[in-house]
Amino acid sequence: MSLNVIMLGPPASGKGTQAIRLAQARGIPKISTGDILREAGKAGTALGLKAKALMDRGELVSDEDMVNIVRERLTQADAKNGFILDGFPRTVGQAETLDRMLAGQPLAIIDLAVPDSELIHRMEDRRVCSKCGGNAEPGSAPTETCARCGGKMIMRADDGDQAVRQHRLEVYARESWPLLDYYRSRPTFRSINGAQAPEKVAAELSKAIDQMIPAAVRAGARDAR
Ligand SMILES: [Zn+2]
């Protein structure tokens, strides 16, 4: 038995940061599709190379290939006690396949909910280092220079202008509703208020998982570290 978690949430919801925190706290890997695609490309597997070629041309990896790449990643040793998925599943088809892969093992689905106005505000404020690519610590005071390397902090290209930010949220809302619909009625689905301070979100998230997932599974994930 293992502790399996899916993290859902709009851009700038803090999903990636919370996924990393939870992964570290529970001793299981955080698996983001962006990371796996990069790893698979580097590892030089047939699927990885195919995915890399598509991405280099700016095209999307098909549902089927994405599922196979995730399947390959989930069979690696570090994921045997569980995983936290960030960015997958993205479609109902992928979610159905994941259910089949898990064959009845418990799956916690976390949706980080943040109002659009707050997300827009966060994207406006979000800065990334132009030199090392590091993000500013969430919640830290805005600075002109990177705390790590002294590089100039700039707005992320994909956070763009007001119209771009609004469009990203609309795309997310449109693409995520069928998936939320697929998961929402499950006893292991929780919507967490992501507009709170990161520490509060992490605490609520941890508590929700402890309530949803049987203690035996959680103990297993810890002991086997
Ligand atoms: Zn830097």
How does pLDDT run across 161-178, given as a tens digit for each residue?
A: 888 889 889 989 998 999
**Is the predicted pLDDT of residue 1 greater than 70, yes or no?**
no
Length of the chain: 225
Rounded to the nearest angstrom, the distance between the alpha carbon of 142 and the centre of ligand 1 is: 14
Whole-number Å distance between alpha carbons of 201 and 139: 13
**Is the predicted pLDDT of residue 224 greater than 60, yes or no?**
no
Per-residue pLDDT, averaged over 173-199, amounts to 94
Rounded to the nearest angstrom, the distance between the alpha carbon of 128 and the centre of ligand 1 is: 8
Rounded to the nearest angstrom, the distance between the alpha carbon of 4 and the centre of ligand 1 is: 33
To the query of whether residue 30 is one of the catalytic residues in this protein, the response is no
**Is the predicted pLDDT of residue 8 greater than 80, yes or no?**
yes
**Is the predicted pLDDT of residue 2 greater than 80, yes or no?**
yes
To the query of whether residue 148 is one of the catalytic residues in this protein, the response is no
Orientation angle between helical segments 46-56 and 63-74, nearest 10 degrees: 130
- Work out whether the CA dihedral 80, 85, 88, 92 comes out positive or negative: positive
How does pLDDT run across 23-78, given as a tens digit for each residue?
A: 999 999 999 887 887 777 787 888 778 877 877 777 777 888 888 888 888 988 99
Residue 140: its pLDDT value, please?
66
Give the chain's mean pLDDT. Answer: 87
To the query of whether residue 90 is one of the catalytic residues in this protein, the response is yes
Rounded to the nearest angstrom, the distance between the alpha carbon of 126 and the centre of ligand 1 is: 14
pTM comes to 0.82
To the query of whether residue 122 is one of the catalytic residues in this protein, the response is no
How does pLDDT run across 115-146, given as a tens digit for each residue?
A: 999 999 988 888 888 898 887 765 567 778 88
List b or e across 146-185, with b for residues whose CB sees 16 or more CB atoms inside 10 angstroms.
beeeebebeeeeebeeeeebeebbeebeeebeebeebbee
Q: Which of 126, 127, 165, 190 is catalytic?
A: 126
To the query of whether residue 190 is one of the catalytic residues in this protein, the response is no
Lowest model confidence (mean pLDDT) among 11-15, 36-40, 108-112, 206-210: 36-40
Whole-number Å distance between alpha carbons of 20 and 24: 6
Residue 225: its pLDDT value, please?
45
Per-residue pLDDT, averaged over 107-122, amounts to 94
Q: In a 10 Å sphere around its CB, with 0-12 CB exposed, 13-18 middle and 19+ buried, how is residue 57 labelled?
A: exposed
Report residue 221 as tokens: 């994930």
Q: Which of 127, 168, 190, 218 is catalytic?
A: 168
- Residue position matching structure tokens 């700016």: 58
Q: Which of 15, 21, 127, 190 is catalytic?
A: 15
Rounded to the nearest angstrom, the distance between the alpha carbon of 165 and the centre of ligand 1 is: 24
**Which DSSP symbol is given to 14?**
S
